Amino acid sequence: MGIVEEKIAGSIVERDVMSEMRDGTMLAADVYRPAEGDGPWPVLVIRQPYDKAHAETFSYAHPSWYASRGYIVVSQDIRGRWASGGEFSPFRHEAEDGYDTVEWAAALPGSSGKVGMYGFSYGGLTQMMAASLGPPHLTCICPAFCTPQLYEGWAYNGGAFALSFNLTWALYLATGTARRKGLSGYEATLWKSIQSMHDWWQWLPMESFPLLRAHDLAPYFFEWIDHPSYDAYWQRWSIERMYPRITVPALHIGGWYDIFRDGDLRLYEGLRAQAGSGMARENQKLVMGPWYHNPWNRVLGPCDLGEAAASRVDDLQVEWFDYWLKGILNGIMEEPRVRYFMLGENRWRDDASWPPAKAQPVTFFLHSRGRANSLSGDGALTLELPGDEMPDVYVYNPRDPIPSLGGQSCCIPGVNPMGPFDQRVVEAINQVLVYTTHSLEIPFCIAGSVSVRLFAATDVPDTDFCVKLVDVFPDGRAINLTSGILRAKFRDSLEHPHLLSQGTVYDLRIDGGSTAANIRKGHRIRLEVTSSNYPCWDRNTNSGNNPMKDTYADIRVATTQVFHDRTHPSCMVLYGWEER
């Protein structure tokens, strides 16, 4: 059967156009061309596992829209997905297949020979991996909502498994595998289960999770569980190790409530410093919006961030591609290198760097009279060093973990904990320590990383330490900005875990992520400290084992002390400035 053409909104599309990879595997693509004109046209390539007909229109305009603006658009199913041949194994073939696809696309009839790539999440990763091999015709890329590390920042954070994301993503991928195997009834079961995940989060041991063990639909999920530290399994896919091999300009796009927020920042900063050519290093740009993983919209959960928060990513990408692929001097490269959305004031700001040069570290110290538990407690944050103060004590029971309420997970609103929410329901729980400043007399702009230093001791071999930065409104609403976690046995190394000694006070450093937020006059800054944020991350069973392989019988209850005194100055460091 020959290739069938159809017209869609200013474009002509050819379905199921096959390209041969270096090992003989055939991958399928839909190829969109402008309906008018003779070309030649630059080519845009998007490669992802979610069906080439869909082309990540979760958040992007349809490929026909890009074609109508003078581009050939190749939307390809990656290996083992949908109409493409081969076996699917996440990440494994994306570098070589990406290279081969770019070079094939450059030789398509009507091509100008210049190729750009776009896509977010997995579609961002496929760009980075292809670029790491240096295909000659790849001219620029536009990776969005992705990360250079598939261990730290994708599967794990601070040694804790990103349960909500990984489990729902694996189930989502498994629906396609079930379809390929002719298991249409089981595909329906998987889709129903994704919408009722609250019935499944509590399963232990997760290594026997029945929906994915059945029919061997997602063996990779269990591989992720089998590799809880940053070992050779993960290191082979580290983009950070490949920065010197990447020699193309990149427009990085991310969102403050996205799971890969810090990955976007690391990609931008890493390529600015280490890309393989001066041209590439000088032509990295960064856009950080307010959004979560998808959709990119002004409304996030219960919060409407205003018209400025509406996505204009498609227009921005066309400007980017017009400059690099068509040579149109549209001014995009004369604009400031960094554009970021300032939460709280809900408008965009421009800067020459990230973080902005005027952002300086400000240290807030933890204080209490020994009972910072919950909103009813006496926890405080000030700029003054602590004196002789009692530690705060809380109990963490993995059978009853602290629930996630909003945050930076992925990827389905209403299923995964994503976005800004009022945290008072969580802060009412005694197992959460709450430290709050006085009302600000001068607005404070946060723009950069959030780090927390805790001096803590516990009575179990391992436990987690979870932190959350919160903007407290004058009416009491407590809106989460960013959060982070440390699995204590990974306190010194993500490669080589070491268990805790009972009662020993440890100096722990917790990465709380990054954000940009204007804490207005009359608002307060708050830090939450506890030992679970579930199901954003898996709950630590406190046994010292791999929690994903433990049963309920292995669970231990932890009693934890957080110290804040002259010799143990627990604190939070924010990068920012007073907005006078």
Q: What is the pLDDT of residue 1?
A: 47
Q: What is the CATH number of the domain that holds 345?
A: 3.40.50.1820
Pairing of strands 250-255, 284-289: parallel
Write out pLDDT tens, residues 154-165.
999 999 999 999
490 and 342 fall within a common domain: no
pLDDT beneath 50, residues of the chain: 1
Q: What is the pLDDT of residue 5?
A: 84
Structure tokens at 108: 């398509």
Which of 310, 329, 309, 311 lies closest to 319 in space, CA to CA? Answer: 329
213 and 309 fall within a common domain: no
Last residue of a domain, one of 351, 376, 411: 351
User: Does residue 151 belong to any structural domain of this protein?
Assistant: no
User: Does residue 149 belong to any structural domain of this protein?
Assistant: no
Q: Are 118 and 102 in contact (CB under 8 A)?
A: no
Q: Tell me the whole-structure pTM to 2 decimals.
A: 0.97
321 and 450 fall within a common domain: no
Structure tokens at 269: 């900063």
223 and 248 fall within a common domain: no
Which of 101, 49, 97 lies closest to 218 in space, CA to CA? Answer: 49
User: Does residue 261 belong to any structural domain of this protein?
Assistant: yes
252 and 267 fall within a common domain: yes
Q: What is the CATH number of the domain that holds 502?
A: 2.60.120.260
Q: What is the CATH number of the domain that holds 175?
A: 1.10.3020
What residues are labeled active site?
121, 258, 293
332 and 373 fall within a common domain: no
412 and 495 fall within a common domain: yes
User: Does residue 219 belong to any structural domain of this protein?
Assistant: yes
135 and 166 fall within a common domain: no
Amino acid found at 242: M
Which residue range is the domain that position 225 belongs to?
156-234
Amino acid found at 184: S
Number of domains in the chain: 3
Q: What is the pLDDT of residue 310?
A: 97
171 and 268 fall within a common domain: no
User: Does residue 37 belong to any structural domain of this protein?
Assistant: yes
